[in-house]
Amino acid sequence: MRKNIMLTVLYTANDGYLPYLGISLVSLLQNNPEEQVRVYAVLSEAKKDNLDKLNSIRTRYSNLDLRIIDGAPYIARMKKLKMIQYRQTFVPNLRLFFTEYIDRDVDRLLYLDSDTLVVGSLHELFAMDMGGNCVGVVLDSLTGAYKHRLGYREEEPYFNSGVLLIDVAQWNRCHCTEELFRMIERGDNIHANPDQDCLNLLLHEKIQVLPPEFNLQPHHMCLPDSTYFSCYARRGYYTEQQLRHAVENPVIIHAYRFLGDFCWHEENLHPASMYYEKYKALSPWREQPQQPAKKNLTFRLEKLAYRCLPTKWYFKIWCWMQQRYFAQQDNKNRRKIHEMV
């Protein structure tokens, strides 16, 4: 007989991303109706209209226990710690303080970025054996040369931090929070993706690699595997069979920016748009119009290349541009750290 379990989930968002957090939450609840779901939503500068809509989700789903937490005190502490922002916001780092605001009875916590969509049951994920590791993760699709920036070998795992399955007791036993903040105080968060890179460096030997269907990333939804592997090495990553299974049987889709746009942008070409529109229509934000697409020259050229060039050529150009961007961000963050010291 199938035993019901408590799904404990953490989201973070500012007011601009609160609608997408809410749509993600609706997708989670729609696909896990038999489970009790406890959600911690750590918010920054949330406005009344969006808060009211988020709270209205409680009335529709009797299995939801929603805890809303003010992120302002934690952001104030980040500023004192001189933490590097990710794309001009401290919000992603709100998750780093989770041990201070979750309840003592939480043994397994699933962190989800607000641009994720839960399209399947999470029962298997929460029941999964984590092998004594602190965190269950899915490998990042945009690796390759980026690994070498962190001092990793090609075969070593580098994960995407948009979905983190945390064994809370093991995390605490390994003193991960304390070590993470020591890294930040030392100025180790200098890389292009400061929060994700810090977590990778901290948890390098403490991770359980999950199947890719638990954090399915856009490039695998629209590119042939042969095209992906023409730019990125096979070592230290999933097999073609694992990736095909994930595309055909997704559980969590990570709908991060693709061709410069998210699913909520006008005229986007995002491969997850169909899923996003489905759950938006079931949410309190169903009437919210799409947002204007990014108009800068880089994104326009990227879309044009995607439409006009053979996929393999487009992807090779995109990979080169991405690595160039990461190098620029590394240098920018190093300057910031130097100025702060």
Q: Is the per-residue pLDDT at 335 higher than 90?
A: no
**Domains in the chain: ranges and CATH:** 6-340 (3.90.550.10)
Q: Show the beta-strand stretches assigned E in the chain.
A: 6-14, 36-44, 64-70, 108-112, 116-118, 135-139, 159-167, 207-209, 252-254
Q: Which residue did the predictor score with more confidence, 41 or 180?
A: 41
Stated as kind and residue range, the H or E segment containing 149 is: helix 145-149
> pLDDT confidence of 147, banded at 50, 70, 90?
confident
In the predicted model, is pLDDT for residue 93 greater than 60?
A: yes
Name residue 39's beta-bridge partners: 9, 66
Does residue 196 or residue 1 have the better pLDDT?
196
pLDDT in tens, 121-133: 999 999 999 999 9
Residues 6+ apart with CB under 8 A from 185: 81
d(CA 53, CA 141): 34
Average pLDDT rounded to a whole number, residues 252-275 = 95
Residue 189 banded pLDDT, cuts 50, 70, 90? low
Cα 169 to chain centroid distance, Å, stands at 22
The Cα–Cα gap between 223 and 71 comes to: 38
pLDDT at 333: 52
Residue 313 or residue 188, greater confidence = 313
Contacts by residues 233-240 (CB-CB < 8 Å, ≥ 24 positions apart): 233/144, 233/154, 235/154, 235/155, 236/139, 236/143, 236/147, 236/153, 236/154, 236/155, 236/156, 236/157, 236/158, 237/139, 237/143, 238/139, 238/211, 238/212
- Per-residue pLDDT of 195-236, as tens digits, reads 788 899 899 899 999 999 999 999 999 999 999 998 888 888
Token output for 10: 């953490």
Contact predicate 118/32, CB 8 Å = yes
Q: What percent of the chain has pLDDT over 70?
A: 91
What's the average model confidence in pLDDT over 305-312? 88
Give the angle subtended at the CA of 200 by the CAs of 75 and 225, to the nearest 5°: 120
Q: Which of 153-167, 169-183, 261-275, 295-309 has the weakest average pLDDT?
A: 295-309
Query: Do the bridges between strand 108-112 and strand 6-14 make them parallel or antiparallel, or are there none, so unpaired?
Result: parallel
Lowest-confidence pick of 45-49, 212-216, 291-295: 291-295
| 118 strand-pairing partners | 252
Q: Is 53 helix (H, G, I), strand (E, B) or coil?
A: helix
Highest mean pLDDT among 190-194, 224-228, 250-254: 250-254
pLDDT of residue 316: 84
At 232 the pLDDT is 86
Identify which has the larger pLDDT, 170 or 299.
Answer: 170
Closest CA relative to residue 225, chosen from 248, 209, 241, 249:
241
Residue 118 has pLDDT above 70, yes or no: yes
